[in-house]
Amino acid sequence: MKKKMAKKICLLLVVLSPVSIFAQTKISGKIIEANSKKSIQGVTVSVVGNTAHTISNINGEFIITLANNVDVKQQLLKFTSVGYESKEQSLKDIDVSKLFIVELREDLVKLDEVVVTGQGLSVSKRRLSTNVTTISAEQIKGLPVNRIDQLLQSQVPNAQIKMAGGQAGGGSIIQTRGFNSAFANSTPIIYVDGVRVDNLNTAATLGMSLSGGTAQGTATSSLADIPVENIEKIEFINGGAATTLYGSDAANGVLQIFTKKSGSGKANIGVQADMGLEKGTGDFFYFKRTKELLFRDAFTQRYSVTADGGNSDFGFSAAASYAANNGYIIHDNNKSDKFDFRAGFHAKISNKVTYESSITYGRQTLTRNRNGNSGGYSALWFLENGASKVIGGGFNYKLDSASTEEYARIRSFVDSAEMLQNNASLVNRFQTSQVIKYQALKNLLFKATAGIDYRAQTEQSIVTNAFNRLIKSASTGSISKFDRNYWGITLELTGQHEAKVGDFSFLTTAGTQLFKNTDRQVAYSGQDLLDGGLTVGLGATRNANEYYAEIVSSGVYLQENIGYKNRYFLDLGIRGDNNSAFGSTIGTQWYPKVGVSYILSSEPFFQNWDQNILTTVKFRANYGVAGNFPPPFVNETTLTPGGFDGKQAIGFGQSGNTDIKPEKSYSKEIGFDFGLFRNRVLLTATYFNNQTKDALFIVPPASSTGQDSYYRNIGVIENKGFEFAVMASVIETKDFDLKIRASANTVDNLVVSSGGAASFNLSGMSTRTIQTVVKEGYPVGYISGYYGYFNADGTYKSSDPQAFLGSTISKLTGSFGLNIRYKRLSFFANADYQQGGYFANWNKQFRFNYGASTEGVPAAEVAKNGTLNWLNFSQLFVDKSDFLKIRTMGINYTFDKANLGNAFKRLSVGISAVNPFNFTASDADPEAIMPGGAQGQGSATTGGVAYAQFSAPRQFIATIKVNF
Amino acid sequence: MKKLFIYSALSLSLASCSMDVVNPNITENSFVGTSQSSEIWLAGMKKQLANTLNQAVVFAEIVSDNYYNNSSLTNKVFDGPVLLYSDVDIDNTQRAIARLREMGTYGIERIVPADKGATATAKAEMLFIKAYAHILSGELFVALPMAANTEAVSPAVHFNEAIKLINEAITTQTDATLKNGYQLALLRCYYNLGNRTEALRIANSIIQSSSLMVRNAVFDGLNGASNLQQSYTFSNSTNVLAPLPRLDFLDPKYYHVGNVNTDQKPLAILKSEEAFLVAAEAYLGNNQLEQARTTLKALINDVIAKRPTAMVDAKLQLRKGIRADYPVASATRVQADAQSAAQSKLVLGRLEGNVKVNTVSGTSVTIAELDKAETVDQLLYLLSLIRQQVFMSEGRRMTDLGIRFPVSQIEKLNNKKIDDAFTKAVLPAYIPTGIAMDDFTYDKANNLVVIKHDMNKVLVANKTAPNVFPMLK
């Protein structure tokens, strides 16, 4: 295997070598917006039938060069940019010796926008039967956040992204079209420039266990350190037919990030500084004093430099940033430091061959305090859940009514407990993508992609003797370290052929993809550590553990998109996958799709109608299959060795399932896209019905076998619902623009069958307390606990065990946004909402247990039984998870040459706020929940259990950006 | 250039064909038949024994009147006792015992025959540990399958199977000490079966020959098998389990000094005290009051008094959990119930300095008290109390109280052969519910604790009930 890899790398190096120089004709132009006449940056200008392309610069200017041996007058230039109608311009009547002006119109309908769907190569949205959400650099550039999932919050109409807890670098829960899987985390797979990257959004198998068991606590998410610098655009497709060609792990959707690889003309340099205040969100605390005990005002800062330039022969774009935040939790316990660097370039090797490359390096350090049920002391459990009654010798746990002396004691204890913590995470990440495009014929393009993602994470948790003495633990000092090294390689070869026969057009895409990733984790710890010791070697005794997983997946795919009269389209595709995780009896897995797209508005009869109201009409329907492959090695029956009492020992390991195969999500959808009022309003509606068959459930066999739970393809999960999105350009004048967008998505989720297996939990504690559970006839991850009945006098009467207490999946989710521009002043706001779901407020239940509050419990019951029945009426602690949250808002003013003269090309200043307003149905934050799944690394969770987690903090940031 | 693409395509296709991955796991085929495999498997069984006891002992202690779970860790309803077949901890216990049994079967049937170097000692130990799994099955559950996915059978079937296995182990074993220990297991089976004659015969034999024998299960904090009872009674900072105040002086039985991972105390799974207790109970069953008295005196003088003790720094055992009013002062006097006389020295002064604890057995019952007992019931009460105290923190009290776990819901769902009747726990009517067994009042001003129920009194009053005092039947 290693030899093969070496050969491939050599081959790539050969391909990447010398660039030839050709005689050239230069064409210069400028691209402006048709209405406001403002210049448009980032428009891709390409020569049709050729791989040559360039990008417009900050002033909308571009230079493209043509080889001398081509007839310039015969050439066709194509202008494409996310959010604008694409345009083809013949050079026949253009005087190429002068600057020519190209006007592009803003386009909400985006029918002819080119996207990279399926695999590797591009296709116009017109031909697609599925929805693709494209987010431009313009759309995200003003957002003052620097992690990819947070950046996409409220930007993708049919995806809901929730930051689970407010600690730096923590996990998120991403939901699109409900929850397809009860074993795989719902985070979509992520590609950067065609290369799959690590998307682990839960704790690792061997990871820092600061909260509620390793798997469910706040962990360092690998989404938190994907650099967000230098992004050209982002595409998101949800599962089903849209992701069929991605194969065995695309059922949760695919997120593709494309980075910039070119500027235009001589170097354009931009410098940006963001500085501001970060404040912990204390709105949801039960005790007013919690905030003053734990929070402080933090300073957040970020500096970035970008540089790009080039022409159609060679272009580059690079960015570097440094961000630092000293953290809103006292004693630097939520500090972060992030350095990102990304560089991309493209080079024309010959008239037919282009080479593109991007290289990314990121380094992130974080600190974190103990959270959730870390055992001993954790800030919110101690203060908010009443555990101060039992920890550290006991305190007055009714914080707000504590006397001055009592409060001073608590304050001193918390201050010491926070000061004595030393938990940190360090990530170094390197990514690269190398792409060769070969235009074999005018209508035949090949693309070869190779790239890697390497992510090395080290976590460290030190528990000192001083900390143990403080919390009155008899334990000695210890240090635990956890290394996780992820390495993934993607190799892909795709060809695309375009043909026209009469009214028919054929777009054929075929390719093969290989990816391999390894995940090596090492946990090592030292015990009996003297205070001040920072390495494992200093422990009197040392211990180590290792986890290793490796996956190889190969796939072939073929897609045929047939068009008739440029308005009827039939989309057919199939992918075949082999994967090392499949059982020995499972052969190649096939994923087919079929879809139709009909552009009614391209019918001649339609063109004759008045199009002022209804301008564009597209209908689409499709059927497709996508999968989630099982984890590595679960097909094998193993024995687990280890040590015991100074000897080698071995016992039963996992019960292998030789029939294990991917679960498959069969998706049907039908929808329409309407462009109204000359496409100033886009209305999109889709009905979807996804059924996951052979769903992988991790269920226990009979207890009498003595074996642990194992994977079986036994479930059926259904998700159906509607998706609506509207975008409107309400006002479009030279000086004043007003754009709004809103979306509403419904989902009806049901576990249709569990194959007769017992219910199992995705999150939470034990069956007797609160869990989120998978059970036939109920939605995935519903809240299960005891439902209590009360006598007429309000005292407890009886209860039903493991009752349905509410679904954690909101029936309705969506987002909306607003952009206003008056001359050079712009304002934006983005918000998310959800309605119709529930979450278990375990904080409240704990508070009741410890006697810190009796909220929600009948007074008669409290008087009679005290807290004895705290677990018998858990429904009293289940709250509605409805919310409306403003994620980001800001105001920005741009100066250009008219104001600045020649000193700068552009200068903009702005102020923005992150998470400024939260409106929730509950007193608690439905997003401050345990982010991981109980089944371990990468396992499914719907969230739904609020347990001693912080809410995402607020930030108020001032920005200045200068372009030279 | 075309060639390059052909090369690329070819190399990619070749790579696609290769599904080779580095597999770090050990499979059955790679292990069975290897050198030392039976020794390694036996060590694995001992590790599983430790893990099984971590379920069985901790949960049985919580269910009983010995300990109250005074924290939010581990099971929060067994104190009730609420023993529902859906409770995952019942499944955990059943599964851990089944795993121990299945490891025994696998070791005896697959590992030993394939290992040319397998010793008689190793095979006998596997037989013994498997038998111990059957003993736990019979003592803790209303009924359990004998093997994977089979029908659940009564405890008697398990005890008889255990007897068969132990006898085979005795025949096979060449190590005299280990062989002696097996006698104690045999005794326990006959005791549970209510076979007074055999029990008395074996008990007397042990009393004569090995009155200070202990067979321990060991733990290993560095390899994921810490003594959970130690953690919950001593090592964990939240003082998870709180003993009934009248048993306070017996806590902790397991403790650590310095590094918790390297100081995991062993737990006695069999010890000679049991022979004296069984013999005394059998004598009472035969109405031989004096023999019973003599046996119990010998137990106190010749065994318990000779067992080791240790001085332990218990200052962190503040017992401030959900219930914060546990006594920690040596001046405390305890009444076993409202009608009993107050007794001193049962609560240790934990804040006053190191406390003396019994690491194997201890009792508050004195020779004088034994001498004062005039009736079978009076002596039976003292026997019951000594038995409770001797087996403190060893997971035996739940069985002695006549309580049995049901078969788990997960078993029932996967195994259609399980009778519905076995999905209900055995919770005798004389067992007070609502955490009443662990309840007490504490008059701090007068240093007086009054325990709500004296369960030994309750047991004597219900001595004819099934599952209680088998030697009296």
Cβ within 8 Å of residue A91, ≥6 positions away: A27, A72, A73, A74, A75, A76, A77
pLDDT exceeds 50 at position A7:
no
The answer to whether A588 faces chain B, any CB pair under 8 Å, is no
Q: What percent of chain B has pLDDT over 70?
A: 95
Beta strands across the sheet bearing A189-192: A133-136, A231-237, A254-259, A189-192, A195-197
Q: Do B43 and A390 touch (CB under 8 A)?
A: no
**Of B82, B190, B133, whose CA–CA distance to B437 is shortest?**
B82
Q: Do A474 and B320 touch (CB under 8 A)?
A: no
Task: Tell me if A114 sits within 8 A of A126, measured CB to CB.
Answer: no
Å between B431 CA and nearest CA of chain A? 18
Residue of B40, B43, B101 lying closest to A706 (CB–CB): B101
Residue of B28, B31, B223 lying closest to A643 (CB–CB): B223
pLDDT tens per residue, range B66-94: 999 988 788 888 998 999 998 889 999 99
Residue of B27, B103, B410 lying closest to A700 (CB–CB): B410
Q: Do A645 and B44 touch (CB under 8 A)?
A: no
pLDDT exceeds 60 at position A417:
yes
**Using CA atoms, how far apart are residues A619 and B174, in angstroms rounded to an integer?**
83
pLDDT exceeds 80 at position B137:
yes
Domains of chain A, first to last:
2-104 (2.60.40.10), 114-747+809-837+881-963 (2.40.170.20)
With CA atoms as reference, the chain A residue closest to B407 would be: A703
**pLDDT of the residue at A267:** 83
Residue of B73, B236, B258 lying closest to A476 (CB–CB): B258
Across the range A247-275, mean pLDDT stands at 88
Query: A with B: how many residue pairs have Cβ under 8 Å apart?
Result: 273
**pLDDT of the residue at B19:** 57
Global pTM reads: 0.87
**pLDDT of the residue at B5:** 46
Report for A417-426, A583-592, A860-869, B381-390: range of highest mean pLDDT: B381-390
The answer to whether A544 faces chain B, any CB pair under 8 Å, is no
**Using CA atoms, how far apart are residues B395 and B52, in angstroms rounded to an integer?**
11
pLDDT tens per residue, range A869-928: 999 999 999 999 999 999 999 999 998 777 777 778 889 999 999 999 999 999 999 999
Chain A interface test: which of B4, B6, B8, B112 (most A C-beta within 10 Å): B8
Task: Locate A171 and state its tokens.
Answer: 């996990």
pLDDT exceeds 90 at position A117:
no
Q: Which of A52 and A324 is assigned the larger pLDDT?
A: A324
- DSSP-assigned states of every residue in B217-265: EP-BGGGTB--HHHIIIIISTT--EEE-GGGGGG--SS--SS-TTT---
Q: Do B410 and A766 touch (CB under 8 A)?
A: no
Q: Which residues of B touch A707 (CB under 8 A)?
A: 95, 99, 102
Q: Do A704 and B147 touch (CB under 8 A)?
A: yes
The answer to whether A645 faces chain B, any CB pair under 8 Å, is yes
- DSSP-assigned states of every residue in A680-737: TEEEEEEEEEEEEEEEEEEE---GGG-PPPEEEEEEEEEEEEEEEEEEEEEEE-SSEE
pLDDT exceeds 90 at position A10:
no
The answer to whether A600 faces chain B, any CB pair under 8 Å, is no
**Using CA atoms, how far apart are residues B306 and B290, in angstroms rounded to an integer?**
23
Across the range B151-175, mean pLDDT stands at 97
**pLDDT of the residue at A16:** 37
Across the range A130-140, mean pLDDT stands at 85
**Of A346, A354, A195, A314, whose CA–CA distance to B1 is shortest?**
A354
**Using CA atoms, how far apart are residues A93 and B72, in angstroms rounded to an integer?**
81
With CA atoms as reference, the chain A residue closest to B41 would be: A650
Say which CATH number the domain at B52 has.
Answer: 1.25.40
Q: Which residues of B touch A374 (CB under 8 A)?
A: none
Task: Tell me if B106 sits within 8 A of A653, measured CB to CB.
Answer: no
**Using CA atoms, how far apart are residues B154 and B139, in angstroms rounded to an integer?**
10
Å between A476 CA and nearest CA of chain B? 6
With CA atoms as reference, the chain B residue closest to A543 would be: B222
- DSSP-assigned states of every residue in A597-662: EEEGGGSHHHHTS-TTTEEEEEEEEEEEEEEEPPPTTTTS-EEEEEEETTEEEEEE-----TT---
Å between A376 CA and nearest CA of chain B? 6
Å between B307 CA and nearest CA of chain A? 24
Q: Do A474 and B237 touch (CB under 8 A)?
A: yes
pLDDT exceeds 80 at position A723:
yes
Report ipTM for this prediction.
0.92
**pLDDT of the residue at A11:** 40
pLDDT exceeds 50 at position A13:
no
With CA atoms as reference, the chain A residue closest to B152 would be: A704
Q: Which residues of A touch B415 (CB under 8 A)?
A: 702, 704
Question: For chain B, percent helix, then strand, then coil, each to nearest 5?
Answer: 50, 10, 40
Kindly state whether residue B32 falls inside one of the protein's structural domains: no
**pLDDT of the residue at B128:** 98
Q: Which residues of B touch A633 (CB under 8 A)?
A: 23, 25
With CA atoms as reference, the chain B residue closest to A354 would be: B1
The answer to whether A534 faces chain B, any CB pair under 8 Å, is no
Residue of B8, B23, B237 lying closest to A473 (CB–CB): B237
**pLDDT of the residue at A536:** 95
Q: A742 falls in which pLDDT band (50, 70, 90)?
A: very high
Terminal alpha carbon distance of chain A? 49
Q: Which residues of A touch B84 (CB under 8 A)?
A: 801
**Using CA atoms, how far apart are residues B357 and B234, in angstroms rounded to an integer?**
12
**pLDDT of the residue at A825:** 94
Q: Which residues of A touch B234 (CB under 8 A)?
A: 474
SS3 A202: coil
Burial class (CB in 10 A: 0-12, 13-18, 19+), B372: exposed
Q: Do B40 and A15 touch (CB under 8 A)?
A: no
The gap from C-alpha A700 to its chain's centroid, in whole angstroms, comes to 31
Across the range A560-571, mean pLDDT stands at 94
The CA R_g of chain B, rounded to the nearest whole Å, is: 25
Q: Which of A345-354, A491-500, A923-932, B17-26 has the lowest mean pLDDT?
A: B17-26
pLDDT exceeds 80 at position B246:
yes
Q: Do A849 and B322 touch (CB under 8 A)?
A: yes
Task: Locate A145 and state its tokens.
Answer: 């956040």
For CA atoms A65, A71, A73, A75, give the dihedral sign: negative
Q: Which of A656 and A486 is assigned the larger pLDDT?
A: A486
**pLDDT of the residue at A5:** 39
**Using CA atoms, how far apart are residues B175 and A309, in angstroms rounded to an integer?**
84
Q: Which residues of A touch B7 (CB under 8 A)?
A: 11
**pLDDT of the residue at A119:** 55
pLDDT tens per residue, range B43-55: 999 999 999 999 9
pLDDT tens per residue, range B314-351: 888 888 788 889 999 999 999 999 999 999 999 999 88
**Using CA atoms, how far apart are residues A178 and A186, in angstroms rounded to an integer?**
9
Across the range A66-87, mean pLDDT stands at 80
Å between B285 CA and nearest CA of chain A? 36
Kindly state whether residue B171 falls inside one of the protein's structural domains: yes
The answer to whether A556 faces chain B, any CB pair under 8 Å, is yes
Across the range A926-933, mean pLDDT stands at 87
With CA atoms as reference, the chain B residue closest to A632 would be: B23
Task: Tell me if B160 sits within 8 A of B193, measured CB to CB.
Answer: yes
**Using CA atoms, how far apart are residues A947 and A164, in angstroms rounded to an integer?**
11
Q: Which residues of A touch B2 (CB under 8 A)?
A: 440
The gap from C-alpha B284 to its chain's centroid, in whole angstroms, comes to 25
Please state the domain count of chain B: 1
Å between A649 CA and nearest CA of chain B? 4
Domain span at B317? 37-64+81-218+245-472
**pLDDT of the residue at A64:** 82
Q: What percent of chain A has pLDDT over 90?
A: 57
Q: Tokens 């448009």 appear where?
A: A40
The runs of H, that is alpha helices, within B341-454 are: 367-372, 376-390, 397-400, 409-414
The runs of H, that is alpha helices, within B118-236 are: 120-140, 155-172, 176-193, 196-209, 228-230
Kindly state whether residue B9 falls inside one of the protein's structural domains: no
Across the range B230-249, mean pLDDT stands at 90
**pLDDT of the residue at B18:** 55
Q: Which residues of B touch A527 (CB under 8 A)?
A: 259-262
**pLDDT of the residue at B2:** 46
Average pLDDT, chain A: 88
- DSSP-assigned states of every residue in A448-500: EEEEEEEEEEEEEEEE-HHHHHHTT--PPPEEEEEEEEEEEEEEEEEEEEEEE
Residue of A1, A543, A701 lying closest to B20 (CB–CB): A1
Chain B interface test: which of A704, A873, A874 (most B C-beta within 10 Å): A704
Q: Do A642 and B321 touch (CB under 8 A)?
A: no
Q: Do A636 and B23 touch (CB under 8 A)?
A: yes
pLDDT exceeds 50 at position B17:
no
Q: A930 falls in which pLDDT band (50, 70, 90)?
A: confident
